[in-house]
Amino acid sequence: MLTGQGKGKRGALAALVLAIGGYAAPASAQSAANAITAYYRDSSIPGTYVYPGPAQAILSINVKASVGGTCGFATNGAPNATVSAGAITPGFTATVPFTAECTAPWRIAVSSANGALKNAASVPTGYTNAAPYDVALNIPYDTGSATGTVTGSCPVAQLDQALGSSPCTFKGTASTTNGLQVPRSFGLAGSTITMSAPVYGGSNILVAGNYSDTLIVTVSPAV
């Protein structure tokens, strides 16, 4: 709210007005029906003096603004890590923390380079070079009026970047409309992405060797 004030000037006909016991009007009178005029209280005028007022001309200006949502990872808070699952046939669990800084509702999405833990070896009959695992998200939020946690879990095969579509709600690249939606979450500890698998029970035998996959995590403001 901004206010302004002005003072009228004593007019050149002040002496004449004095003689008839009137008052001194400002030199600049209202120029329009909706004009706001402030009057100068002339203390030099003796006798009965009817002060017309007001002493201030107040203009109210309504100022509006908006702040767009921003979303990203905190400094040193991105889920950058190289996870060693060790021997995968007995099963494994590995958790990577991260910290989001999103000032409004946002979305998070994950894609997998291979859709599994993969080995580059050739695969004879009865063997496989792809080990399945699951990817789970756990993200706290605080809107100022409510707190909670958003979770989601999908088989990594549903996160394969080669898939055109997927039943997983957070597969792909985050955008205003794609990914797991989370209310505001700014600098909150406790966000994690967990990779896990039970004891391998596939019908094909995993070939010996090293297995790997790359998960790409993206965040975006939501609509």
- Residue 170 amino acid letter: F
Q: What does pLDDT average to over the chain?
A: 85
Region 57-74 average pLDDT: 91
Calpha distance 34→214 (Å, rounded): 69
Q: Can you tell me the mean pLDDT for 18-37?
A: 50
Domain closes at, from 65, 100, 119:
65
Answer yes or no: do 60 and 79 share one domain: no
Provide the domain count of the chain.
Answer: 2
Structure tokens at 62: 């309504």
- Of the candidates 208, 213, 182, the one whose C-alpha atom is nearest the C-alpha of residue 195 is 213
With beta carbons less than 8 A apart as the criterion, state whether 61 and 1 touch: yes
Query: Are 39 and 80 members of one domain?
Result: no
User: Are 193 and 136 in contact, with CB atoms under 8 Å apart?
Assistant: yes
Residue 5 belongs to domain spanning: 1-65
Q: Is the pLDDT of residue 150 over 80?
A: yes
Q: What's the average model confidence in pLDDT over 7-20?
A: 30
The answer to whether residues 98 and 44 belong to one domain is: no
Cα–Cα distance between 118 and 115 in angstroms, integer?
8
74-100 pLDDT tens trace: 999 999 888 898 999 999 999 999 999
- Residue 140 scores a pLDDT above 80: yes
What does the pLDDT average to over 58-82?
91
71 pLDDT band (50/70/90 cuts)? very high
pLDDT of residue 163: 93
